[in-house]
Structure 1
Amino acid sequence: MPTEAPVLFPLAGKAVKLARVLAAPSYARALLRTRTAAAVEHEALLRRLAPATVIDVGANKGQFALAARRALPDATLHAFEVLPGPLATLRRNFDGDASFTAHALALSDAAGEATFHVASREDSSSLLGVGAAQEAVFDVREASAIRVPTARLDALGLVEACVAPILLKLDVQGAELQVLRGAETVLDRLSHIYAECSYVELYQGQALFPEVRAWLEARDFVFRSAFNTHHDPKLGPVQADMLFQRAPA
């Protein structure tokens, strides 16, 4: 059975991050009530980008969404999470927040159903099978597989109804290009895309960062910077959060 990821932080900066979580009432509440550690490392960037709407794809328990809410108290948040356990925790973390909506869907490039690969750490689950490098670097392996509902973002009518500027955040464990292909007709409504991308194949058949970057650049997005890079002693850079900006018209 999958196990819930423990509330642990990277060794580098662990104490500082924990102190930041405990110092913010909303973060401390989520940590104590639901064992959800807010992704405080994204706060500064979110404030700088200042989107009116955040679409959080692969929201898990709301780690990123908690940071978005604290950084952007007036923003509208839409979160997509398909695993029942994390989805229930996500909704609990935002209970009473009228500007937050959770969607029980896996976004992809086709509507219907798909196999979802549940990992030994639920926040590493994916539409793609867990690869050998994921196990070697993060000690994560596939625990089970379930069928889940899928949808294209550009078929939901959601983006068209959102207030601009809109930030699309992707943390979908190797399925970034599938989600982007399923959003192709609404990309021009987005101001920024913030996607966790890999330099090495952590999931079977995933598109690596150069392919994701080329796809977005062909559609008028400019790569701005990489954040929160994870390094492996043997493999070097493994993955990072990549920021893309819509090119001026």
Structure 2
Amino acid sequence: MKTLLQRLLKARGYSVYRDVPRDLANPLGVELAAHSALLRAVLQRAGVNVVLDVGAHRGGYRDLLRASGYAGQIVSFEPVSASYAALDTRAAADPAWSVHRLALGREPGRAKINVARESNFTSFLEPNAFSIDRFGGSAVDRQEEVPVARLDEVFGDLVDVREPRVLLKTDTQGWDLEVIEGAAGVLDHVVALQAELSVRPIYEDSTSWLDVLTRLGELGFRPAQLTSVGRDDALGLLELDCLLVRS
């Protein structure tokens, strides 16, 4: 169990546990283990043969997928230079894993991304005062100008499966809905989706988690599982990972 939780923790970033009261660590560990089990079931039952890993950071989600028994194609997107370099080195050992230095969004072009002191907080959005007070590492260290593309415009060049059945995972620190709206032309291929929901915002101008869920419902997805990945001092939820399947 300890090894599994370490993999899950790595896939989500160290911040999952670091501010959680000690008496809640085990229940959260159980939640994360349940998430891993359901993810494995969704991959199998939905017949997923392509995973699009948006906001790949250092490759933790790829590790979780491989640990869950998934052997199919993984396409990872990571715009930040240092994180991309780490991914590119790692991907050389996995022939079914390709990595691309690219951000995904609604509008193609170039944009400045806020690289945080702790890179897992990097976002196109600005951290708010609560975020900086709670997680000192969310403060902006520098900006990088990065390329941005719509997923539905690059999908055909990157996916090499004849009949793709896609799990779209987005972990982009408040940018997930932008990614999903930019995938409009290929959403018919998406059989499952994992998105990050901010219950207590840690970025300026982030979309309400209820609005994200409503929009995903309009697009034909329904939640299969909500997994907490952080709490505040009052034990209220900060963020959720939401695994969704087709309605």
* Same fold, judged at TM 0.5 (above): yes
For structure 2, the residue ranges without an aligned partner over 5 or more in a row are 1-12, 19-24
Residue correspondence of structure 1 range 62-81 to structure 2 within 5 A: 62-81=59-78
Check conservation: 1:115, 1:127, Cα contact below 8 A: yes
Residue 58 of structure 1: aligned partner: 55
- Map 1:50-199 onto structure 2 (within 5 A): 50=43, 51-139=48-136, 140-158=138-156, 161-162=160-161, 163-199=163-199
Residue aligning to 2:17: 10
The separation in 2 between residues aligned to 1:45 and 1:192, in whole angstroms, is: 12
Within 5 Å, give how 1:195-206 maps onto structure 2.
Answer: 195-206=195-206
Coordinate RMSD, CA, aligned: 2.6
Q: Distance in 1 between matches of 2:65 and 2:51?
A: 8
Mapped contact 2:228–2:237 kept (Cα < 8 A):
no
2: CA distance between counterparts of 1:91 and 1:63?
Answer: 13
CA distance in 2, matches of 1:58, 1:74: 20
Greater shift in the superposed pair: 65-74 or 208-217: 65-74
* 1:196 Cα offset (Å): 1.2
SS in 1 for 2:74: strand
Measure the CA separation in 1 of the matches of 2:78 and 2:66: 17
TM-score, normalised by the number of residues in structure 1 = 0.80
User: Shift of the alpha carbon at 1:59?
Assistant: 0.3
The whole-number CA distance in structure 1 between the counterparts of 2:14 and 2:39 is: 23
Query: Alpha-carbon deviations, 1:61-108, whole Å to 9, x = none?
Result: 001111112223421100000111111111222223111000110111
Q: Which runs of 5+ in 1 are unaligned?
A: 1-5, 18-38
Per-residue deviation, residues 154-193 of structure 1 (Å, max 9, x unmatched): 1113477545431111100000111111011211210111
CA shift digits 1:189-230 (9 cap, x unpaired): 101111111012211111121111111111111122201342
Deviations 1:85-138, CA, capped at 9 Å, x for gaps: 111111222223111000110111111101101111111101111122222332
What is the count of residue pairs matched by the alignment? 221
The share of aligned pairs that are identical, in percent, is 28
Where does residue 32 of structure 1 map in the other structure?
none
Q: Counterpart of 2:211?
A: 211
| Aligned mates of 2:148, 2:111 — CA distance in 1 | 7
Higher helix share: 2
C-alpha distance in 1, partners of 2:198/2:171?
11
Q: Structure with the greater relative contact order (CA < 8 A, sep ≥ 6): 1 or 2? A: 2
TM-score under structure 2 normalisation?
0.81
What is the CA-CA distance between 1:42 and the residue it aligns to? 5.2
Asked whether the 8 Å contact 1:42–1:67 carries over to 2, the reply is no
The C-alpha deviation readout for 1:48-71, integer Å capped at 9, x for no partner, is 112221110000000111111222
Cα pair 2:164 2:189 within 8 Å, conserved: yes
